[in-house]
Structure 1
Amino acid sequence: MRKIIFSLIIISFVFLGMSFHSPKKINIDGDNKENEAYIDSMMQNALKKGFFPGAQIIVGTGDFNLISKNYGYHDYTKKQLVKTDDVFDLASMSKVLGATLATMRLVGENKIKLTDRVGEIVPFYKNTAIADLTLFELLTHTSGLTPSITFYQSLLSTPDGSPLLRDKKSENYPELFDNMYVNKNIIYDSKYLVFQPKENWVQIYKNMWLNPEFYKTVYAQIATANTNPRGKYVYSDLNLLLVKQMIEIKTGKKLDQLTNEIYNELGISKIGYNPLKWTSIENVMPTEVDNFFRKDTVKGYVHDEAAAIFGGVSGNAGLFANAESIAVICKMLMNNGNYKGKQILKAKVVKEFTDSPLAKEGIYRGLGFDKRKPDEFFKANDFGHTGFTGTFFFMNRDTNRFLIILTNRVNPTRTNRLMYKDDFSAKIWRQINE
């Protein structure tokens, strides 16, 4: 009798597992060893050539991790090895793992609709040119908004009106930032920016506080930023800034509150905005040496300047995480919103957001999620996102695989694009997703 009961339990577990996805048969001793050897080889080559100082990689299925490894160091001084608990600046992966996840929860709870319009929810935009933009258009990047605005540069000036940046090095432009040289006489606008704590001002860096009145000028710029044809795909950070405003006003909660509710339900703690509030600075990977705005090696604060001026909590960027925390989110999404028997997101919402609603029009995007036109690296049902700092995560329910690659390729400078020229992340994805 015990054998019969045990057999029925095993059959039940198999049946339950199959109800979430149709897993590819996993050959742990074959495919997995081959994939790990391939990843090790790719990583050794990347570290040798200076693609980035360090990385975390996880390969997994809807049920468990197959490969989980750390590589390299925090920076090129090679004094501190990358550890499992170290967190990376996710950059635009935040669009999905932050604002989009929160939106999925709210859509599933009927608290916001994809047809809701910006001007109907956010009073500031009621009578502006972007009032009629829908949440759907923002999430699919078909709003027509310009890709980005360097809001922070209006906080900077020079005494004689000379340019902030020039393309040639000189006595007055001695230090490099990106591919430009920085004016050595930059002045910060004291109306909006101070270097000591000030009541009700927003901390945007360890020694910088911003007057919240500045946000009026930011929103005014966004309101007139619809410079591309509506309905055409143009990837824009501004879309997710608006998504954040919409969901915050709808709920009366801040984005970090909304996301933390989801992370807590998933039992993950190495993920969130403003990492110095929940981990030590020793566990945060450094990003760029910023010779322009913050005059420092950025560590523990968001790299993206737009997210920085919002106090590190933004729709376009701001999240920090380790690969293990993201792996839990991948498993939840691959199991139609379910994680360890708990329905975190509605299954129909997960499907709606991760499909390609505009593929017939040649637009390969999900709602928030990145999708790619099938090619030598990507399949039709892949979905995920990448980040400017050198981060990548993609998954596919059909092949029952996900891949997370976290790097800090912008340390010490964002000009290092070697990993992209080599199709580094895409090659690993193709290898493990076949």
Structure 2
Amino acid sequence: MKTAKIIIALLILSGFSCYAQKTANSFDVKRNEVYIDSMMTNALEKGFFPGVQIIVGTGDFNLITKNYGYHDYSKKQLVKSEDVFDLASMSKVLGATLATMRLVGENKIKLTDQVGQIVPFYKNTPIADLTLFELLTHTSGLKASITFYQSLLSTPDGSSLLSNQKSDQYPDLFDTMYVNKNIVYDANYLSFEPKENWVQIYKNMWINPAFYKTVHQQIAAANTNVRGKYVYSDLNLILVKEMIEAKTGKKLDQLTNEIYTELGISKIGYNPLKWTSLENVMPTELDNFFRKDTIHGYVHDEAAAIFGGVSGNAGLFANAESIAVICKMLMNNGNYKGKQILKEKVVKEFTESPLAKAGIYRGLGFDKRKPDEFFTKEDFGHTGFTGTFFFMNPNTNRFLIILTNRVNPTRTNRLMYKDDFSAKIWKQINKF
């Protein structure tokens, strides 16, 4: 009987192996590589971004792994496989959502848990009864974002921080606006040298943790949209982070590092200068407004910066290879190399669209799209403001990771979006 069970198990494993091999064999590597090379060459020539990493793979192995371009437009440093990119909002799923999935699977937190039940500050606030489910599906009614850092800035004469017209008083461009040259920083909350118990938010900037009370108060008053309606919001994942940290007594970076360690990946994490060298970190934007520097080695997102680089909405840095391992784990229902990292039922629950009947195609944390010429209902993943993209489809047994730093030197560069750049490659690799 025991021998029979072993034979059956081997046959099942053999079947899965044959399926994976067949799927990989049906992938036209040469045709897709030519297409990707062409897309990347065109993108680099037109200045979509300075550099990029790309991996195409299946639930078992990588099919195409390539790097293109340079760290920035000086073209002094080629992109290497070990280089890490600022993932921006991809952090929402590869950080806070993954940690939440682990905790849900361990019955340490429930999707019905409410913010005010778990995080004491929010107990008697207007957002106290928001559930973890509403936060993860972006149906909480919270506004899209809050520019917390701007309350730390002022001008001596009370003039506006930004202007839509360039002038002697507003000489430097930031996004589509010009920055007042006389900006001063609130010394009660910001310091340009280290202070005891203050949190480092940039290489030469520290914030007084007393400021976080103001942040929490602003979030508590941010329910300005219709609850149950889909509004993508950074605040949702900031609250998810607060909920899982309060529930576990552990910080988000600790919770995620436990998962990454089990997966055997090391080129992923928050605050990259703590675990890799500056020369292996892709630079992002020239920030003429807040940090007065080309951001390099620190998170681009201002809200994540305020939280010391570790936030639910942004903050992760990674190379494509580390993300590829996570894709394989998710495509194998939470299993990676025989180790069950996440519960199978949790992976399925988070990567489906529970509100599709209401016309909301999000997963729990994960980005899903209304089916169109590029995406199907099975696809799930996420994108990031800095020009990052990853999506996977277990049915076609494909995943795609594209990491760029399109915000270098400015976020006004949106050429890759106007061209549907990443979506076109995703469509291509699922066809051939």
Same fold (TM over 0.5): yes
For residues 382 and 245 of structure 1, the distance between their equivalents in structure 2, rounded to whole angstroms, comes to: 28
Residue pair 1:21, 1:398 contacting (<8 A) in 2 also: no
Asked if 1:424 is matched to 2:421, the reply is yes
Cα distance change, pair 9–43 in 1 and its aligned pair in 2 (3 A): farther
Cα distance change, pair 288–94 in 1 and its aligned pair in 2 (3 A): same
Query: Which residues of 2 match residues 227-376 of structure 1 at below 5 A?
Result: 227-376=224-373
Q: In structure 1, the residue corresponding to 2:23 is in which secondary structure?
A: coil
1:273-317: CA deviations, max 9, x gaps?
Answer: 000000000000000000000000000000000000000000000
* Aligned-pair Cα RMSD in Å: 1.7
1:227-256: CA deviations, max 9, x gaps?
Answer: 000000000000000000000000000000
Cα distance change, pair 20–230 in 1 and its aligned pair in 2 (3 A): farther
Aligned to 2:150: 153
Query: Which residues of 2 match residues 364-403 of structure 1 at below 5 A?
Result: 364-403=361-400
* 1:69 pairs with one of 66, 71, 80: 66
> Taking structure 1 as the reference length, what is the TM-score of the superposition?
0.96
Residue pair 2:24, 2:58 contacting (<8 A) in 1 also: no
For residues 9 and 133 of structure 1, the distance between their equivalents in structure 2, rounded to whole angstroms, comes to: 49
Residue pair 2:192, 2:204 contacting (<8 A) in 1 also: yes
* 2:208 pairs with one of 201, 211, 228: 211
**CA shift for structure 1 position 15:** 2.2
1:123-165: CA deviations, max 9, x gaps?
Answer: 1000110000000000000000000000000000000000000
1:67-98: CA deviations, max 9, x gaps?
Answer: 00000000000000000000000000000000
For residues 43 and 242 of structure 1, the distance between their equivalents in structure 2, rounded to whole angstroms, comes to: 37
Query: Which residues of 2 match residues 113-262 of structure 1 at below 5 A?
Result: 113-262=110-259
Aligned to 2:106: 109
**CA shift for structure 1 position 433:** 1.4
- Counterpart amino acid of 1:253? K
Residue pair 2:23, 2:397 contacting (<8 A) in 1 also: no
* 1:37 pairs with one of 34, 38, 47: 34
For residues 6 and 243 of structure 2, the distance between their equivalents in structure 1, rounded to whole angstroms, comes to: 46
Aligned to 2:409: 412
**Count of aligned pairs between the two proteins:** 427
**CA shift for structure 1 position 374:** 0.4
Tell me which stretches of 4 or more aligned residues in structure 1 moved more than 2 Å.
8-30
Residue pair 1:389, 1:408 contacting (<8 A) in 2 also: yes
For residues 280 and 34 of structure 1, the distance between their equivalents in structure 2, rounded to whole angstroms, comes to: 36
For residues 25 and 180 of structure 2, the distance between their equivalents in structure 1, rounded to whole angstroms, comes to: 56
Residue pair 1:23, 1:399 contacting (<8 A) in 2 also: no
For residues 302 and 381 of structure 1, the distance between their equivalents in structure 2, rounded to whole angstroms, comes to: 31
- Counterpart amino acid of 2:383? T
- Counterpart amino acid of 1:82? V
- Counterpart amino acid of 1:256? D
Residue pair 1:23, 1:397 contacting (<8 A) in 2 also: no
For residues 70 and 12 of structure 2, the distance between their equivalents in structure 1, rounded to whole angstroms, comes to: 43
> Taking structure 2 as the reference length, what is the TM-score of the superposition?
0.97
Percent identity between matched residues is 84
- Counterpart amino acid of 1:416? N
Residue pair 1:121, 1:246 contacting (<8 A) in 2 also: yes
Structure 2 segments unaligned to the other structure (5+ residues): none
For residues 273 and 87 of structure 2, the distance between their equivalents in structure 1, rounded to whole angstroms, comes to: 15
